[in-house]
Chains A and B, each alone.
Chain A
Amino acid sequence: MVTVDMPQVGDIWSWLEAVPDPEIPVISVVDLGVVRDVAWQDDKLQITITPTYSGCPAMSVIAMDIETELLKRGINKLEIKTRIAPVWTTDWLSEKGLAKLEEYGIAPPQAAGEPERCPNCKSSSVEKISQFGSTPCKAQWRCKECLEPFDYFKCI
């Protein structure tokens, strides 16, 4: 029997770590918790992704970016499936992803429902501007110390 070159699932996960989220390019689709499963079905690779919000316009771009990255790695037989349950939660953001968000200037989600501190000057004196922001997953806040407005990643 000829062994077809089928990369290990672990390697594929690490390749997907290099696919950035199209809206927040400092974190990967894996850090965001959007990639839910990677599995070989015979000689076909199945990737399961889940939307952050049901209307998230980035989903088709994410699917295309994953496909492009894996094609580059020589995977031609690929199926990308979308599922909505279990429902995406900010709990699925990786530790690495949370740190990168703050470094980028986006306050990471907090269970308390509001940002812990300003991602720029780190002051805890912050106020809400709007419950919604530049993408469905973010809200707008402002720092009362440095006066900079910033995005807060909504906790859901």
Chain B
Amino acid sequence: MNALFEFLLRQGDNVLVLGHRTSEWCGTAPALEEDIALANTALDLIGQTKLWLEYAAEVEGEGRSANDLAFLRDAYDFRNVLMLETPNEDYGRTLMRQFLFDAFQVHWLTALTDSKDSRISEIAMKSVKEAQYHLERSRDTIIALGDGTELSNKKMQAALDYLWPYAREIMLVDDVDEAMHKDGIAPLPSEILAPWDALVKSTMRDAYLTIPDSNFVHKGGRTGQRHTEHLGHMLATMQVLQRSYPGATW
């Protein structure tokens, strides 16, 4: 196993899967401004995907392109965390998922700007600016809706309760992370837990939401061992064109 390739797939697949999920709102969001905001967020994430997967494809050296990796792999070859493939369900869950991810991603990408791998450091420098902007918005919106009406508070609490068992998979550590850490390419994801926890706690306090009292973590996405059934359905839509018309371009 090529640890660097695995690592890059994890980075690329996280933003690809969340980017595609978020784009599902395009044209159907609750308000025009929100529709535009979600579409722009998705666009940033897909742009970041291209940077990660282009590098992954080069590192793999099998002649595959970023597009091949995105559109011609099946669910069991994806390395995104499970939380990002969960269905949008409602607007509250979509925003809560975005916030729990942004709160990790800003700290993670900031740390990756110091990577010994200059390509990774460049991608992190480019992406972190966008992630900071996403975090600013997702945090404000969580607080506005949590501290909103009785109904909006109830929906945000339900979103947090549903997503909480998924939220910390992204900070688990395995052999790939150990290898990256040893080579000075990335910190251990577990190092992000403390700042992530502090940010999540203060945000939920300001939003009048209660963090569930459970340490259970769903896992299997970032290792590819076991995805949820939702990913396959999502890929069926996302990949349909390349599956039906292999090699189609425009």
Contacts and interface: CB of A to CB of B under 8 A. Distances in A.
Main DSSP-derived SS at the A contact region: loop
B180 interface: no
Given A87-B126, A87-B129, A156-B133, A55 B33 contact: no
Contacts of B122: 84-85
Contact of B41 (A54, A132, A133, A134): A132
Given A84-B123, A131-B137, A154-B133, A55 B44 contact: yes
B36 A55 contact: no
Interface of B: 33-34, 36-37, 39-41, 43-48, 50-51, 121-123, 125-127, 129-130, 133, 136-137
A121 B163 CA distance: 46
A115 interface: no
Given A55-B45, A56-B47, 11 more contacts: A54-B44, A54-B51, A54-B126, A84-B123, A86-B125, A87-B125, A130-B33, A130-B36, A134-B36, A140-B33, A156-B133
B37 A131 contact: yes
For B39, B43, B122, B130, which residue has the most chain A Cβ atoms within 10 angstroms? B43
B43 A136 contact: yes
A105 interface: no
B127 to A, nearest CB: 6
B36 A133 contact: yes
Given A84-B122, A130-B33, A53 B44 contact: yes
Contact of B51 (A84, A132, A134, A140): A84
A147 interface: no
Contacts of B133: 131, 154, 156
A53 B130 contact: yes
Nearest to A131: B137
Interface in A102-148: 129-134, 136, 140
A57 interface: yes
A84 B44 CA distance: 14
